[in-house]
A and B are shown apart, each in its own frame.
Chain A
Amino acid sequence: MAQAFPYTYYSCDCYDSNTNITSAKRASQQAPIADDEDERTFDPRSPRSNYSLYPLEHLLYCEDCQQIRCHRCVIEETLAWFCPACLFEVPSSLIKADGNRCIRNCFNCPVCMSTMMVNSLDDPTNPSSSGGPYILSCPYCHWSTHEIGIEFEKHTGISQQLSRVANGGRQIPTQKERDKERERLKDAEGRKKDDRDILSGSDDSPTRDRVREDIPPSQEDSFSNLSAFYKTQINAQSPASFSSHDVSFSSPASYARIMNLYSTSSTKKQKREKPVPMREASGVFEGLTIFDPATDAATIERIKKEGWSTTLAPAQKLAQINPNIRFESELRPIPSILCTKRGKRCRSCRHILAKPEAKITSTRYKIKLLALNHIPRLSLRALSTPTSQISASGPSASAPAFDYNALRPGIPTHFLLHLSNPLFDPVRVTLATSSTTPGKVQSRVTILCPQFEVGANTDVWDDALQSSLSPVKRTPALNADGQIEAGKIWDRGRNWTSVVIEVVPGFLKPVTTGFSLGGDDGKKKEDEELDEDEDLLEIPIFVRLEFEADMVEQERGIGDPKRSVEGQREKREEAFWAVVGVGRVAPT
Chain B
Amino acid sequence: MSAQLTPHTSASAPDRRTSTIQKRTSMLPRPASIVLDDSVLIAQHAQLTGSYPITAGPNTVLHPHSKISSVMAPVVLGEGVVIYERARIGVASGGDAGGMMMAESASGGRADGTVLGRNVVVETNAVVEAAEVGEGSTVEVGALVGRGCVIGKYCTITAAVVLAPNTHIPDYTVVFAGSQQRIDRTLKDRPEAQLLKTMMHRKQLDIFKKLVPNNAAKWRMG
Q: A residues near B, CB below 8 A? A: 111-112, 121-125, 132, 135, 137, 140-144, 146-147
Contacts of A142 in B (CB 8 A): 156, 174, 182, 184, 186-187
Listed A/B pairs (26) with beta-carbon separation below 8 Å: A112-B176, A112-B177, A121-B190, A122-B192, A122-B196, A123-B192, A123-B195, A124-B192, A124-B195, A124-B196, A140-B158, A140-B176, A141-B158, A141-B174, A141-B177, A141-B180, A141-B182, A142-B156, A142-B174, A142-B187, A143-B186, A146-B185, A146-B186, A146-B189, A147-B185, A147-B186
How distant is the Cα of A141 from the Cα of B156 in the complex, in angstroms? 9
Contacts of B190 in A (CB 8 A): 121, 146
Q: What is the interface size of chain B, counting residues whose CB is below 8 A from a CB of the partner?
A: 18
Most B-side CB within 10 Å, residue of A125, A132, A141: A141
Contacts of A132 in B (CB 8 A): 192
Residue of B nearest to A114 (CB): B176
Contacts of A137 in B (CB 8 A): 186
Judged by a CB distance under 8 angstroms, whether B35 is at the interface is: no
Contacts of A143 in B (CB 8 A): 182, 186
Whole-angstrom distance from the CB of B193 to the nearest CB of chain A?
7
Judged by a CB distance under 8 angstroms, whether B11 is at the interface is: no
Q: Mark B152-186, 1 if CB is under 8 A from A, else 0.
A: 00001010000000000000001011001010111
Judged by a CB distance under 8 angstroms, whether B217 is at the interface is: no
Judged by a CB distance under 8 angstroms, whether B199 is at the interface is: yes
Contacts of B186 in A (CB 8 A): 135, 137, 142-144, 146-147
How distant is the Cα of A143 from the Cα of B182 in the complex, in angstroms? 9
Q: What 5 A-B pairs come out closest when comparing CB atoms?
A: A142-B184, A144-B186, A146-B186, A142-B174, A123-B192
How distant is the Cα of A144 from the Cα of B174 in the complex, in angstroms? 13
Q: Is the interface of A mostly helix, strand, loop or mixed?
A: loop
How distant is the Cα of A205 from the Cα of B15 in the complex, in angstroms? 94
How distant is the Cα of A144 from the Cα of B185 in the complex, in angstroms? 8
Contacts of A124 in B (CB 8 A): 192, 195-196, 199
- Give B174-222 interface residues, CB cut-off 8 Å to A: 174, 176-177, 180, 182, 184-187, 189-190, 192-193, 195-196, 199
How distant is the Cα of A565 from the Cα of B166 in the complex, in angstroms? 82
Contacts of A112 in B (CB 8 A): 176-177
Residue pairs across A and B with CB atoms within 8 Å: the count is: 41
How distant is the Cα of A42 from the Cα of B190 in the complex, in angstroms? 70
Contacts of A125 in B (CB 8 A): 195
How distant is the Cα of A135 from the Cα of B186 in the complex, in angstroms? 10
Residue of A nearest to B175 (CB): A141
Whole-angstrom distance from the CB of B134 to the nearest CB of chain A?
16
Contacts of B195 in A (CB 8 A): 123-125
Whole-angstrom distance from the CB of A307 to the nearest CB of chain B?
12
How distant is the Cα of A142 from the Cα of B174 in the complex, in angstroms? 7
Contacts of B199 in A (CB 8 A): 124
Question: Which residue of A111, A121, A141 contacts B193 across the interface (Cβ within 8 Å)?
Answer: A121
Whole-angstrom distance from the CB of B195 to the nearest CB of chain A?
5
- Taking A142-B174, A144-B186 as known contacts, 16 extra A-B pairs with beta carbons closer than 8 A to each other, sorted by chain A number, are A112-B176, A121-B190, A121-B192, A123-B192, A123-B195, A124-B192, A124-B195, A124-B199, A125-B195, A141-B180, A142-B182, A142-B187, A143-B186, A146-B186, A147-B185, A147-B186
Residue of A nearest to B181 (CB): A309
In the bound complex, do residue A111 and residue B182 qualify as a contact, i.e. CB atoms below 8 Å apart? yes
Contacts of B182 in A (CB 8 A): 111, 141-143
How distant is the Cα of A111 from the Cα of B192 in the complex, in angstroms? 23
Contacts of A111 in B (CB 8 A): 182
How distant is the Cα of A124 from the Cα of B192 in the complex, in angstroms? 7
Contacts of B177 in A (CB 8 A): 112, 141
How distant is the Cα of A587 from the Cα of B187 in the complex, in angstroms? 65
Contacts of A146 in B (CB 8 A): 185-186, 189-190
Contacts of B176 in A (CB 8 A): 112, 140-141
Whole-angstrom distance from the CB of B174 to the nearest CB of chain A?
5
Residue of B nearest to A137 (CB): B186
How distant is the Cα of A582 from the Cα of B177 in the complex, in angstroms? 42
Contacts of A140 in B (CB 8 A): 158, 176
Whole-angstrom distance from the CB of A60 to the nearest CB of chain B?
38
How distant is the Cα of A530 from the Cα of B180 in the complex, in angstroms? 45
Most A-side CB within 10 Å, residue of B186, B190, B195: B186
Whole-angstrom distance from the CB of B179 to the nearest CB of chain A?
13
Whole-angstrom distance from the CB of A122 to the nearest CB of chain B?
6
Whole-angstrom distance from the CB of B84 to the nearest CB of chain A?
18
How distant is the Cα of A147 from the Cα of B190 in the complex, in angstroms? 11
Residue of B nearest to A135 (CB): B186
How distant is the Cα of A143 from the Cα of B158 in the complex, in angstroms? 13
How distant is the Cα of A111 from the Cα of B176 in the complex, in angstroms? 11
- Give B71-117 interface residues, CB cut-off 8 Å to A: none
- Give B6-44 interface residues, CB cut-off 8 Å to A: none
Whole-angstrom distance from the CB of B141 to the nearest CB of chain A?
12
How distant is the Cα of A76 from the Cα of B190 in the complex, in angstroms? 50
